[in-house]
Homo-oligomer: A and B are copies of this chain.
Amino acid sequence: MLPSSTVENYLKAIYVGETHLVGGQKLVPMGQLASALGIAPGTATTMVKALAESGLVTYEPYNGVRLTPAGEKLAARVLRRHRLIELFLVQVMGMNWDEVHEDAEQMEHVVSDRLIERMDEMLGRPEFDPHGDPIPTPDGQLAHRALETLLTCPLNTPVTVARVTDQDAAFLRFIESHHLKPGETIQVEERDEASDSVKLKGRDDQRMTIGARAASKLLVST
């Protein structure tokens, strides 16, 4: 039984949901899953029970859901495809990084392994996609770097933007126009709790202030 696009999307959402979980708890709650997929909560429950039936997830009623090794393998495969496709569309086809998400979202379910392999080859076996998200290897391994957000990194120290953890097109365009894409070097000059904002010095010493919410989505390496 090859998984349907729907199943692949559930697994992917659970996978990334797990990474967003704080602390030792490992179960993704149904509500979070449902809203991540844009479906009604009841639908998520029904579907997750079916996934548990086929051994892809572990389901604890009223607590949440977790991937089994089999489910994790499939999820990593989908994520790998998604990120390779995004990088391909940007790197090879010259599309903007804020307009490739939807295409990747669709293509990840349908293109052949051969085509994915060809993309991987043309891109030189990349480890990160245009947003700095790590690309799982064919066997599901994720490269992981120790990164900090702009809310936690040291002040007045040059840091390199490594990853942007938001796919929203408007946000991505903002990042791009302010030269905050992965690879850029910046410094955090000041954080202000009261105004919920962060002051930055960017390329050409350009000053800018961004909200804490946005700052938390920019990951940097020191």
What is A's interface to B at a CB cutoff of 8 Å? Answer: 89, 92-95, 99, 102-103, 106-107, 110-112, 114-115, 118-119, 122
Expressed in whole angstroms, the Cα–Cα distance for A112 and B106 within the complex equals: 9
Expressed in whole angstroms, the Cα–Cα distance for A206 and B107 within the complex equals: 43
Chain B minimum-CB-distance residue to A114: B99
Q: Is the CB of B115 within 8 A of A93?
A: yes
Chain B minimum-CB-distance residue to A108: B110
Distance to closest chain B CB from A206 (angstroms):
30
Q: Is the CB of A103 within 8 A of B115?
A: yes
Sorted nearest first, the 3 A-B pairs with minimum C-beta distance are A106-B110, A103-B112, A93-B118
Residues in B whose Cβ lies below 8 Å from that of A89: 115
Classify the secondary structure of A's interface with B: helix
Query: Among the listed B99, B106, B118, B119, which residue makes an inter-chain contact with A111, where contact means beta carbons less than 8 Å apart?
Result: B106
Residues in B whose Cβ lies below 8 Å from that of A112: 99, 102-103
Query: Among the listed B93, B102, B103, B114, which residue makes an inter-chain contact with A95, where contact means beta carbons less than 8 Å apart?
Result: B114
Q: Is the CB of A111 within 8 A of B103?
A: yes
Distance to closest chain B CB from A93 (angstroms):
5
Chain B minimum-CB-distance residue to A105: B110
Chain B minimum-CB-distance residue to A115: B103
Expressed in whole angstroms, the Cα–Cα distance for A102 and B99 within the complex equals: 25
Distance to closest chain B CB from A82 (angstroms):
13
Residues in B whose Cβ lies below 8 Å from that of A99: 112, 114
Residues in B whose Cβ lies below 8 Å from that of A110: 103, 106-107, 110
